[in-house]
Amino acid sequence: MQPSDIPTRERLIVALDLPAVEQAEAMVARLGESVSFYKIGYQLAFAGGLPLVRKLADQGKKVFIDLKLHDIGNTVSRGVESIVKLGATFLTVHAYPQTMKAAVEARAGSELKILAVTVLTSYDDADLHAAGYRLGVSDLVEARAQQAQVLGVDGLVCSPEEAASLRRIVGHQIHLVTPGIRPAGAASGDQKRIMTPARAIAAGSDYLVVGRPVVEAADPKAVAEAILAEITPPLAA
């Protein structure tokens, strides 16, 4: 699917960052038809949440498995082969060349799309330096995006601040998926590079990943609907 063909409602991916499957299922029921794409990450996956992938897929929802794989190529390949069978739409891997190559090869012929995480959105230059990297955030994001494109990765997870410059580098064939989204007035939490939903879409994001602002809201459905309403005008522009 070309980025321009994505239905508006599918552009909001709600991160089910919740401690138990029952809570996740209750949140999905509360959100109802407003949300059609969910992300399952460490917290829920390691609390028995992986069978929820098939369950949600069978209900017509799309699921993004955000386990940010990174291991030797053979282990990544075998893992991706198992994930293909769960019925997920997106899977994240860290943007290391060996890892991206193994994941792309192992998902060949399936519906699963591989997203590479360039640099975590909670990282700034000082965090990268502390982790032993010589490059700052923008240079490392750019280098990893170029490698991802060469290796046939389907999409990139990046900060919305990087979306516009990444579009210039990777063109329109690669999906840009952006966490670090905060509706005006929401707490930033540990995210250091954040943007509002409308600005992120205008900057070139295809999919917005939103966790705490939705799942911790008093009225999650109202927040989800407000985000969808906010991104409709920039998508039409």
Sole window of 51-59, 97-105, 113-121, 126-134 interacting with ligand C5P (rule: CB under 6 A): 113-121
Contacting residue, 17, 161, 162, 206, with ligand C5P by CB under 6 A:
17
| CB neighbour list of residue 51: distance below 8 Å, 6 or more residues apart | 21
Sole window of 2-10, 117-125, 164-172, 217-225 interacting with ligand C5P (rule: CB under 6 A): 117-125
For the bound state, the minimum distance from the C-beta of residue 109 to ligand C5P, rounded and expressed in Å, comes to: 26
What is the spatial distance between Cα 134 and Cα 9, in angstroms, rounded to a whole number? 40
To the query of whether residue 62 is one of the catalytic residues in this protein, the response is no
Strand 113-117 and strand 90-94: the pairing is parallel
From 112, 54, 49, 115, select the one nearest 80 (Cα to Cα): 112
> Which CB sits closer to ligand C5P, 66 or 206?
66
41 binds ligand C5P (CB under 6 A): yes
Q: Distance of alpha carbon 190 from its chain centroid, rounded?
A: 17
117 binds ligand C5P (CB under 6 A): yes
Q: Supply the DSSP string of 120-167, one letter for each residue.
A: -TT--HHHHHHTT-SS-HHHHHHHHHHHHHHTT-SEEE--HHHHHHHH
15 binds ligand C5P (CB under 6 A): yes
- Residues of the shown chain interacting with ligand C5P in the complex, contacts defined by CB under 6 A: 15, 17, 41, 66, 117, 120-121, 157, 179-180, 189, 191, 209-213
